[in-house]
Amino acid sequence: MKRELDGTYLRNDIYMESGGNLTFDVAEARTITLDGGILCNASNNNIVTKIGQGVLIFNGDFYIQTLYVNDGTLRFGDGSIFSGENVYFSSSAFINMATKSSNELIFENLSSAASLYYDVDVNSKFVDLITVKTRSQMDGAMIKISLSGVNSSSLKYNIIIVSGSVGGSGNITFDNTNAQGSIMTRVHGDIDYE
């Protein structure tokens, strides 16, 4: 199914017309996959909630007014597009952006205490990215960067861009395993961050 939003056609499995609530209760060791996405009518306040210890996979195109990820894993697939107005990731949630291509998550407002898993591939020079337009609050989030590839030159990647206010205190961990779990044997050791 394709629906139009602001003149652009987006892939979606679910179209939320008016202020409704959609809850994904994913039991532990279970997975729900959306290959087409969710599109919420821009003029209504729709709420999407993920609960349970299982995995919810977002493929396709997503435009959601309010998203709560309370438990378990939210995983983004290859080529998925995500945009959200108000997004809340709890401390018992795990946000996984580890795919074969870069993912960008665009939020108007983000409040996160979740563990975030990014990919940085220095061979293909792709990087996962979170962009926050207005307000970001990241408390206690563990940001794990999975590096893959070998490059002897100095490279700079933005992984979080906030154009509005930012607050919170998270931790960042650099990991020498790539998305497939293979251990790197050569890693350029000069890491700058700001």
**8 Å CB contact between 125 and 156:** no
Mean pLDDT of 12-20: 79
The reported pLDDT for the residue numbered 26 is: 96
Of residues 192 and 112, which shows the higher confidence score? 112
CA angle 125, 176, 172 (to 5 degrees): 85
Q: How high is the pLDDT of residue 160?
A: 79
Half-sphere exposure of 14 (CA within 13 A, CB side): 21
Tens of pLDDT, residue by residue over 40-94, are 876 678 999 999 999 999 988 898 999 999 999 999 988 788 999 999 999 999 9
Q: Is 129:104 a contact under the CB 8 Å cutoff?
A: yes
Q: Name the phi and psi angles at 64, rounded to 5.
A: -130, 135
Which range among 3-12, 16-25, 141-150, 152-161 has the greatest average pLDDT? Answer: 16-25
Query: Please, which pLDDT band fits residue 12 given cuts at 50, 70 and 90?
Result: low
The pLDDT of residue 103 is: 85
Position 126 pLDDT exceeds 80? no
User: Mean pLDDT, to the nearest integer, of 113-130?
Assistant: 80
DSSP class per residue in 128-167:
-EEEEEEEEEE-S-EEEEEEES---S-----SEEESSEEE
Residues 6+ apart with CB under 8 A from 8: none
Tell whether the model's pLDDT for residue 161 goes beyond 90.
no
| Model confidence, pTM | 0.81
